[in-house]
Every structure is written in structure tokens, then in C-alpha cells.
Amino acid sequence: MGIEVRYEATDGGGFKLRLMEGEEAVARLAVGRYTMQVAGVGVMMGGIADVVAHPAQRGKGYGAQLLRAAVARMRDERYPLSLLFGITDFYHRFGYAPVLAEYALTISTRHAERFLGEAHADTAQVRAGATEDAPALLELYTRVNATRSGTLRRAAEKLDPTPKRDVENWWTHARRILLAEEGGRPAGYAVLSGNPAQFRVTEVVVPAEHVARAGVALVAALTHEAVERRLESMRLPLPPDEPLALLLQQAGCKVELTYPANGDGMGRIVDLGALIDTIQPSLAARAARLPVGERPGRLELICEGNAEEPGQRVDVALSSSTTDRAIKLALPQQQLCQLVMGYRRIDAIRWQEPGACAEADMVALRQLFPVGYPHMWGLDHF
């Protein structure tokens, strides 16, 4: 009896794949369709999850067969990018490379109390978030994360703390939300696990203009709970360039960045043309900030092929001026994905791939592909 791949469309534009032996499913995976920020614009992304084979069918290569079929299907549907959260030493075989680092800011409760005592700030008011707050929290989330690659576009229900009646997993604890208000208007929030046995902060969002009041008020509320639980420290999942993380440097804290060797948040380019079509305006805007003499009119991008998949090549218009200067960048798909996401610098990638570009083009490439701190908040992991 042969093995066939069966396709099923799902709500929201994604799909499921099952490997069938007759009418028996022996392995499955799901691909969700998301909109993810890349270079300051929303890009369609296929998020792979639920990759599993039946216990009696493992070790037969069914997971690999499904991953190849999923990438091929996404290519047919012109997904620009795909992401997943994976185990080590498996998904790199299908073109995935790390694109999301892990960030943690740890501050001792003693240092937090001292900082709060010295802040002398007219802080905001903090209360528990409710269902009716979700649209205002979504506005804060969208504004703060507009330029951070890796963040997902959300619906307001993602920030609704009320348990859903149709949730299949009844063991899931409803999340808690702390909302800081200035002048009666939401100015920042923190999301915590609803498990009463845990003190786990999964998201903190405070716009820069509200950090001095709403940010300090949220830190005070979290510190109060940590002290009540007799915890020596608090851990906040903040990228190091978040305004609140910068403020807490004054208090004394430990900032950890973990770059996985092969696993966790991994991504790949599926359709280079579709990706560039989406982010081209952002690349052109970055090129316009270069001095006229260093501004290229065109960028040629080449994804080198291999035994698994064909190469890809696109020309990117960067300027409507009459300049004839063109620059060229040729990289394996994995490194190009890391570069576009802002996960790695072009300088570091060129150490590995010295023939990727000309030295004369490095200034322009640094401007086109700046390094950053790409991040996907824990609420959005799939």
C-alpha cells in the first residue's frame, strides 16, 4: 500500500498536510498563514506547527517527506517566508536557519525596589485588564512593534484575558493582563501566565513616550507581586533595545541574548520574488538615505540553488533616478533570510561567504539590511 500526501485547506488561509497509508494517517503537519513584520512592512508568512508522526510510524522519514511537501506547497502559493519553532539538528535540512534570538532581562527585586524608591515619578495607575481593553491594547502593541521584524499582526482577541468557551484544552490557564493608564487612557501593559503557581511574564509593551510613567508603574506592580511571592528576581522577555529595557539599565540588571546554533525560532525564504515585491518600498526608502554618490539604482539578489531546490534571482529597483550603479549580492537562501530579518550583519555573513558581494558595495548593503533584534512575543508562538 502506497503513501500519499493529502491536502486540507484551513480557516485563515493556511493548510494541513497528512501522510496517508490507505485511510490511516501516519504523519501530519499544519501551516498557518500569518502576517509578519519584516523591514517595517507586513509580509505573508507560513508558520509550520504540529509536525508529528504516529508513534508506530517514526523513524521512516515521514516528517522529512511532509516538510518537503509543505515547502513545495507554500512555493506554489507564493508564500514569501516560512517560520517554525523547532528541535535542533532537523529543520536545517529543509532550508531553515535561526532568525529569532531569545531575550531575557533579569532584575533582582532588591534592585527594582531601590530603583522605584529613587524614581520619584508621577507614575500611572495599574489595574487588571479586561475584555473591553483589548482594542486599546492592540493599538499599543501595533504601534510599538511596527518596525520590529518577527512580530506578528494580531487581532484584538489575542489580548482578551477572558477564557474562550470553545477552547478544547480545559487545562489552559487564562492569561493575566496588567494595564497601566495615564489620564484614564491605556499607556502600557504586561501579560502574565494565569497559572497561580507561576510568576511568568510573557510580554511587556510600553511606548517610549510612556516609559517614565506607565513603564515604571508596571515594574512597580510586578515587583510588588514578586516580593509577595518571595522571589529574588524577575525575568522580563524584553529585546535589549526596548525602551523599558533601556530604562532598567539604570536599576542594574542582567540582559541575556541567546542565538541558537540550530533550532528554536527558524525561518527560510520560500519565494524570493514575492518577498522582494513586498519589502521593495522599504528597501528603496533605506537607499534614499544614502549619500547621492553611494546610492545604487538597482540591487541584484541571488539565492544560490542546491540539490534540494532551484536557485532564485530578482532585480530590485532602489531609485527612480538616472543612476546606473547596480550592486549584487549572492548568498545561500538561509543567510539571505537571516540578513533580511536583521538577525545577522552583512559583515559577519561575508566572513563566511567572501564572494557574496564586492567590498565597494558594503556601505550600501549595511544601509539596506541593518541588523536589529527580531522578535516574536510568546503569545504568538505556534
**Cell of residue 26, nine digits:** 501516519
Q: Are the beta carbons of 345 and 372 closer than 8 angstroms?
A: no
Q: Residue ranges of the domains in the chain?
A: 3-98+260-268, 102-258, 271-368
Q: How far apart are CA 350 and CA 334, in angstroms?
A: 13
Q: Are the beta carbons of 30 and 14 closer than 8 angstroms?
A: yes
Is 271-368 a domain of CATH 3.40.50?
no
| pLDDT over 70 (residue 315) | yes
Average pLDDT over every residue of 330-343: 97
Domains 3-98+260-268 and 102-258 share a fold: yes
Percent of the chain residues past pLDDT 90, beyond the cut:
85
Strand-pairing partners, residue 127, are 179
Residue 170's pLDDT band (cuts 50, 70, 90): low
- Looking at domain 3-98+260-268, which of 3.40.50.1780, 3.40.630.30, 3.10.580.10, 3.40.228.10 is its CATH number? 3.40.630.30
Average pLDDT over every residue of 348-376: 97
- pLDDT tens string 18-34: 999 988 999 999 999 99
Q: How far apart are CA 351 and CA 331, in angstroms?
A: 12
What kind of fold does domain 102-258 have according to CATH? Aminopeptidase (3.40.630)
Other beta carbons within 10 angstroms of residue 53's beta carbon come to 20
Select from 343, 146, 107 the least CA-distant residue to 236.
107
Q: Which amino acid is present at 206?
A: V
| pLDDT over 80 (residue 369) | yes
Indicate the pTM of the whole model.
0.93
Torsion angle, alpha carbons of 370, 375, 376, 378, to 10: 180
Q: ∠ at Cα 39 (36, 42), nearest 5°?
A: 30
- pLDDT tens string 319-336: 876 567 899 999 999 999
| pLDDT over 90 (residue 179) | yes
Contacts of 219 (CB under 8 A, 6+ apart): 112, 115, 116, 244, 248
Helices (H) and strands (E) in the chain, counts: 9, 17
Torsion angle, alpha carbons of 180, 183, 186, 192, to 10: 10
**What is the Cβ-side half-sphere exposure of residue 55, based on CA atoms within 13 angstroms?**
0
Lowest mean per-residue pLDDT among 18-27, 33-42, 150-159, 197-206: 18-27
Residue 213 DSSP code: I
Q: How far apart are CA 40 and CA 369, in angstroms?
A: 12
User: 313 or 120: whose pLDDT is higher?
Assistant: 313
Q: What is the residue-averaged pLDDT of the chain?
A: 94
